[in-house]
Amino acid sequence: MSEANKQQGAVQTTGHSWDGDLQEFNNPLPTWWLWGFYLTVIFAVIYWVIYPAWPVGESYTKGVANTITYTVNGEERTTHWNTRALLMKEMQSGQDAQKMQAYMEKVAAASYDDILADEEMLAFTRAVAKGLFGDNCAACHGSGGAGVIGLFPNLVDDAWLWGGSVEQIEATLTQGRRGFMPGFERSLDEGQIDAVAHYVLSLSGHEVDGDMAQRGMQIFNGKEGGCFYCHTKAGTGLESQGAANLTDSIWTVANVPGRDGLEGKLAEVREVVENGIERVMPAWDQRLSDNEIKLLTVYVHELGGGQ
């Protein structure tokens, strides 16, 4: 409280009283506050002149001496100030947009080898592709690329179902992939499927019953099962078919690492052999530009250490 307020009688009251003696002071507004108020009024008047402000009939005042120029199809257009024109101008000639554009052109012109060898281009690719990945790929593969076992492949491990070279990754992104393994429920009986499961686990170094594995191998590599057509006799898998490598302890469909004990692991493998699996990666050539696919290719290649 200021000195003036403390001195009763020096300040006027509003003149009325309640309950006999309840009165209200009528202090003048502080000077600094009053001037602040006048300044905001002056600011508002200046704003009305410069920016679109007052409605007039079916239109409104557009603001004086405050225009935005942008380009449409090589032709310059000038309009009154508005956020949409401002956005176009920023997208076309803003500092960040131009910087990004310059990098985009540089990356578009460079080969994969050039990009992978150039720290600066690689840093740019990581930054932009992280957003692209988050927007388009993360819904299935997860924002870190770890996927969901059985549903969406893990992109950060060393296994590449459809090949891990930049050319193969680009093809996967552009055309999409259709991974298909038939179910053997009808063509093999339970004992045979169990034997195949034993053999499959033995391929990745699990200790299983030798006789069962031996029998499984015959089915796997023979006409009965025919597994080797796609998984090869060595069990390493054909990339052209997107067939999993069964020898590397990396599991993409059967959740073998998630189960304790041999019986559980066998059950996981048996289920895949019985029911098969079908997984689809959509094609992105209609949704993403060539350059965006290029950036994502490098990004995904880097995620899994590439091949």
Q: Which residues make up the interface to another protein (CB under 8 A)?
A: 14, 16, 55, 57-60, 70, 72-73, 77, 79, 82-88, 90-91, 94, 96-97, 131, 135, 138-140, 142-143, 146, 148
Give exposure, 135-144, as e/b (b: 16+ Cβ within 10 Å).
Answer: ebbeeebbee
Smallest separation, CB 88 to another protein (Å): 6
Residue 286 one-letter amino acid? Q
Strand-pair partners of 78:
69
Smallest separation, CB 266 to another protein (Å): 25
By beta-carbon proximity to another protein, the closer residue of 56 and 65 is 56
Smallest separation, CB 90 to another protein (Å): 5
By beta-carbon proximity to another protein, the closer residue of 57 and 261 is 57
Distance, CA of 167 to chain centre: 22
Smallest separation, CB 24 to another protein (Å): 9
Please, are residues 263 and 132 in contact by the beta-carbon 8 Å criterion?
no
Smallest separation, CB 269 to another protein (Å): 23
Residue 163 to residue 248: CA distance in whole angstroms: 15
By beta-carbon proximity to another protein, the closer residue of 23 and 187 is 23
Query: What would the two tokens of residue 38 be?
Result: 């006048």
By beta-carbon proximity to another protein, the closer residue of 146 and 171 is 146
Please, are residues 207 and 303 in contact by the beta-carbon 8 Å criterion?
no
By beta-carbon proximity to another protein, the closer residue of 135 and 167 is 135
By beta-carbon proximity to another protein, the closer residue of 15 and 261 is 15
Smallest separation, CB 296 to another protein (Å): 15
Smallest separation, CB 280 to another protein (Å): 9
Q: Render 164-233 in DSSP notation, one character per residue.
A: -SHHHHHHHHHH-EEEEE---TTTS-HHHHHHHHHHHHHHTT----HHHHHHHHHHHHSTTT-THHHH-T
By beta-carbon proximity to another protein, the closer residue of 65 and 72 is 72
Nearest to 290 by CA among 104, 38, 21, 66: 104
Helices 119-136 and 95-109 meet at what angle, rounded to 10? 100
Cβ contacts of residue 175 below 8 Å, gap of 6+? Answer: 283, 285
